[in-house]
Amino acid sequence: MLLARALEVRERAYAPYSGFHVGAAIAATNGKIYTGCNVENASYGLTMCAEMSAVAQMVADGAQEICEALIIGSGQDICTPCGACRQIISEFAVTTIQIHLCNRSGECQTKTIGELLPFSFNSKFLPPT
C-alpha cells in the first residue's frame, strides 16, 4: 500500500529544476497513510522534500507518530532521505521503525531510522518544558 501511494504522489512532484521526482508515504499510528512529493523552487533553499511534506500533512491531521515510511525517487538508485528529512522523521518515530528506500522501479532496501540517523539530536538534549 505504501509503495502504490508513493508512486501515485511522485507523479505530482514539482521538479522543473532537477527533474528528480520523489514521492513519500508514511503510515502513522492512527492507521492513516500520509503522502508528499517534492516541490522545488527557483530559490533552491525553499524547496520542500517529499518526506517533509508527508510529515506536515500527518501533523496537520493531528497524528504525531510514524510507524513506517517509504521513499521512492525517479532515479536508478534507491532514494534515501536527505539529512534534514532524516531528522524530521526521527522527531516523530522510534529508532526501530522501518524506512523503505526505493528506486524508480520499486526495488527497495529497508533500513531503520536509527540506522539512517545514528546519534540523532532529539528532545532528550533539551531542558524540560
Domain ranges of the chain: 2-125
Q: What is the pLDDT of residue 74?
A: 97
What's the burial of 16, exposed, middle or buried (CB within 10 Å: 0-12/13-18/19+)?
exposed
Query: Does position 52 have pLDDT exceeding 90, yes or no?
Result: yes
pTM of the model: 0.94
Which residue carries 521503525 as its cell? 97
Collapsing DSSP states into helix, strand and coil, what is residue 46? Answer: helix
Q: What is the pLDDT of residue 124?
A: 86
Give the span between the Cα atoms of 99 and 108, in whole angstroms: 10
pLDDT band at 57 (very low <50, low <70, confident <90, very high): very high
Percentage of residues in the chain having pLDDT higher than 70? 100
Q: What is the average per-residue pLDDT within 34-55? A: 96
Sign of CA dihedral 84, 88, 67, 2: negative
11, 40, 51, 65: which is the annotated catalytic residue? 51
Q: What is the mean pLDDT of the chain?
A: 96
* CATH code assigned to 2-125: 3.40.140.10
- Active-site annotation holds for 8: no
